[in-house]
Chain A
Amino acid sequence: MSRVMVAMSGGVDSSVAAALMKEEGHEVVGVTLRLWGGESDSGCCAISDVDDARRVCDTLNIEHHVFNMSDEFDHHVVDPYVSSHATGLTPNPCIECNRHIKFDLLHHRVQALGFDRLATGHHARIATQPDGTYRLARAIDSSKDQTYVLYMLDQSKLSTLDLPIGDLTKDQVRDLATQLDLRTATKPDSQDVCFITREHGRDDFLRKRIPLTPGRVIDTEGIEVGSVDAVEMVTIGQRKGMATAGGTNPRYAINVDVPNATVTVGEPEDLLVESTSVKDCVWANQLTNGPVLVQISAHGKPMKATLKDNTIYWEEPQRRVAPGQAVVFYDNDEVLGGGMAC
């Protein structure tokens, strides 16, 4: 038996994760992080989510606590999200939250409070290698796989982490929640970025925090072909809003130059590159070079490439990866590490 702290968001996955850890005979305490103090789709401070987690813990007869990490969340997740956009990068706030909040601050606290292990309701698994080291492996339910946003987990984290629902499909998770009479059994999956509401969206969120710059749109010849409201909001590869006058084929943003407020559009083939540079790489175990599978978005298809000294050489030319986007390296279904496109 271990003392396990389960991070509970108030959703069905972490509810079932807590139930499974308890069923295994561990001493389980549920904890919900208060992260975002502003408006969200589940109400101010996400109070209804905290309530759901608390009520699930009552049903499971385990203790529930709330940790306030909202200042840290602002500092490590929200502020960098805003400043990344301001400089034309494409940030992934869920990854930064996992990196700095759940698997750093919370992980640290789990140890300081005398717990043996942390468990979360992520759809991913932990695989033990023949040499006894660990790797993060894709979830059984590939449509729900979250390994992409967890690529930063190293040996120190993986060795004290439990991912109890990684072996279950989402349907199985919901069935279990129903059997256990957990109130979150039919709760819809959370969508997108937790601090951005569906009603107001990303534009509105950023517009309140940074000045957004109207920009001109030029083609590859340098001829001005249109305009955008906010150059900071354009992502490389974006098609929406790029269908400019004169063109017959669909056009894509192939370059975003925030300082000069200019977006360059081109044909799909203008986006193709042979290689992509990455930086800030972290590894599950050790630095890796050689053949890898590379995933460049949360639910993107992994593509074959060779990694050498922070450069990805694609087997087939690929669309440019937007700077700031996370790039994750796999060996089959197992995460080797990841970094950020630059």
Chain B
Amino acid sequence: MTYLDHAASTPTRPEVVEAMMPWFTQHPGNPSGAHHQAREARRAVDEARDAVAALVGADSSEVVFTSGGTEADNLAIDGVLRAKGGTPICTATEHPAVLEPVRDSGGMIVPTDHLGQINLETFTETLDSVDNISLVSAMTANNETGIINPVTDIATLLQERSPETFLHTDAVQATAWLDLVKHCEGAHLVSITGHKFGGPKGAGALIVKKGVPFAATQRGGGQERERRSGTQNVPAIVGLGKAAQLIMNERETLASRVTALRDRLEEELIALVPDTFRTLPQDSNRTPQIAHLCFKGVESESLLFLLEQEGIAASAASSCASGAQQASHVLHAMGIDYETAAGSIRLSLGWTTTEEEINHALTVIPAAVSQLREYPK
């Protein structure tokens, strides 16, 4: 089996599983309790909190554990709006977890450039023309293409033009590949999730910097400093913390190894398969793990089907709740035409990716594309 869908979810690191196990099997405590077992659970959660804080360059008190990236994104937008009101703004290539709450609260969606990056000129015009913008959300790296937004530039721009506006960045797809301490400097809110960098599914965090007006949406026992009630998922949070430690130490090595594999995959596929091209230019500012390619005249759904038959798991745009592939709003925002978008797939690599898997893909994909091209639409 060749797994090229790490951007959807990357395998859990064995060290993470090992760190989590005792919190299923040995320690029953609820971190909110007062006795010994509760205190040890509390300590485990707080140690994970320190690790996540270090990963993002935040103070531990600024870390709010969530059930994952979607909750973190929703909470960032709804949390600020509940406290402060005003209009939220996001870019057109955001994840639906940002787009939907922004739309629901009457916010604005600003166009991107042809690479899917925020267009700072249009963005400045929007800042100057719209009153009472309370929050801007711009993702660190895009989940479909890997294109990177200049988060620090956006932060600087906001400071100059609209100092009352807070900046959120969805760093879910960037965590494994970029130094968030540097790259997200100046952002007031940052979302991450464990299963994109070797942690478990169901554990994520929202960083809420001090001074950001914020009101919880999920209420109850007042956990997470009253920013997110509910008993913490201790084993998953421990796993998230462990994954944070691991990725901080290994990021550079991993990124250069994966970049080399990704570049080889792209170059050889383009050489082997006629009428194939990268959705983003080779030298664009993008994360290392995604090869987003368009095979002209092919339907991505059919191509993915054939890849699966040959033991390769990959994906196209995003999947909807039914499991069907959906037309990509990201490619649409980039101005890519329907036919091209319909023939593109995302091959995403990760920490387990091997040369053999790349070789396998290089054998299977050219054959699958030429099979499909024998049956033109």
Contact = CB atoms under 8 A, between A and B. Distances in A.
Interface of A: 32, 34, 45-47, 50, 54, 65-68, 70-71, 108-109, 111-114
B266 to A, nearest CB: 25
Interface in B292-333: 299, 301-302, 305-306, 309, 320-327
Nearest to B299: A109
Nearest to A50: B322
B324 A66 contact: yes
Residue among A47, A54, A66, A112 having the largest count of chain B Cβ atoms under 10 Å: A112
A108 B299 CA distance: 12
Contacts of B371: 112, 114
Interface in B332-377: 371-372, 374-375, 377
A108 B375 contact: yes
A114 B308 CA distance: 13
A324 B213 CA distance: 61
Contacts of A112: 302, 371-372, 374-375
A18 to B, nearest CB: 17
A34 B326 CA distance: 10
Contact of A67 (B301, B306, B321): B301
Nearest to A34: B324
A109 B377 CA distance: 9
A131 to B, nearest CB: 29
Among all A-B residue pairs, the 8 with the closest Cβ atoms: A112-B375, A68-B324, A34-B324, A66-B324, A50-B322, A66-B323, A47-B322, A45-B322
Given A65-B305, A112-B371, A54 B320 contact: no
Given A46-B322, A47-B322, A50-B322, A68 B301 contact: yes
B320 A45 contact: yes
A65 B375 CA distance: 20
Given A67-B301, A68-B301, A108-B375, A113 B324 contact: no
Interface residues of B, number: 19
B301 A111 contact: no
Contact of A66 (B302, B322, B375): B322
A108 B377 CA distance: 8
A42 to B, nearest CB: 11
Contact of B323 (A50, A70, A108, A113): A50
B254 to A, nearest CB: 32
A70 B326 CA distance: 9
Contacts of A54: 323
B340 to A, nearest CB: 15
Contacts of B299: 109
Contacts of A111: 375
A65 B302 CA distance: 11
11 contacts: A32-B322, A34-B322, A46-B322, A66-B322, A66-B323, A66-B324, A68-B301, A68-B324, A112-B302, A113-B306, A114-B309
Contacts of B324: 34, 50, 66-68, 70
Contacts of A68: 301, 320, 324-326
A70 B374 CA distance: 24
A266 B371 CA distance: 60
Residue among B320, B324, B325 having the largest count of chain A Cβ atoms under 10 Å: B324
B357 to A, nearest CB: 22
Nearest to B301: A67
A79 to B, nearest CB: 16
Nearest to A49: B322
B88 to A, nearest CB: 25
Contacts of A50: 322-324
B334 to A, nearest CB: 19
A297 B322 CA distance: 33
Contacts of B375: 108, 111-112
A109 B302 contact: yes
Given A109-B299, A112-B372, 9 more contacts: A34-B320, A34-B324, A47-B321, A50-B322, A66-B324, A68-B301, A68-B324, A70-B324, A109-B302
B321 A45 contact: yes
A7 to B, nearest CB: 14
A34 B324 CA distance: 7
Nearest to A112: B375
Contacts of B302: 109, 112-113
Nearest to A64: B323
Interface string B156-183: 0000000000000000000000000000
Contacts of A70: 324
A45 B324 CA distance: 10
Contacts of A67: 301, 324
Nearest to A114: B371
Residue among B301, B323, B372, B374 having the largest count of chain A Cβ atoms under 10 Å: B323
Nearest to B326: A68
A113 B301 CA distance: 10
A108 B323 CA distance: 21
A4 to B, nearest CB: 14
Nearest to B372: A112
B370 to A, nearest CB: 11
Residue among A46, A54, A114 having the largest count of chain B Cβ atoms under 10 Å: A114
Contacts of B323: 50, 54, 66
A187 B321 CA distance: 22
Nearest to B323: A66
B298 to A, nearest CB: 9
A50 B321 CA distance: 10
Contacts of A47: 321-322
Contacts of B301: 67-68
A70 B320 CA distance: 12
A52 to B, nearest CB: 11
Nearest to A33: B324
A65 B313 CA distance: 13
Contacts of B326: 68
